[in-house]
Amino acid sequence: MSYLGLVGLFGLIGLTGLLNKVHPSQSGGPIRLLGLLGFLGLGGFWIPSLGACGAFGALGVWNHQNSRIAKLAYLGWLGFAGVIQTLSFYL
């Protein structure tokens, strides 16, 4: 499962939600802070299951005003692959 660590790099998509500001009246401001979980994806180079959990960072753009950016949030659900891998390792 060496490719699993690279899945976490999808979490860096969440940082686009922090860089491309939305109007303050748009709901979900605190959710965009999930983009910071994308930095866990960088840990995937050393610990693959931790890196895959970093994919949850992409969920930070789920309600972005730009619809193209908002569609990228679906990649965040790949973080469950990291959770499953981590649980199977420790159990």
pTM: 0.76
Distances in Å between the Cα of 5 and the Cα atoms of 8, 50, 60, 64, 89 are: 6, 7, 20, 26, 14
Domain hosting residue 32, numbered range: 4-90
- Work out how many domains the chain is built from and give that number: 1
pLDDT, one tens digit per residue, over 21-80 is 777 777 777 777 778 888 877 877 788 887 788 888 888 888 888 888 889 889 889 889
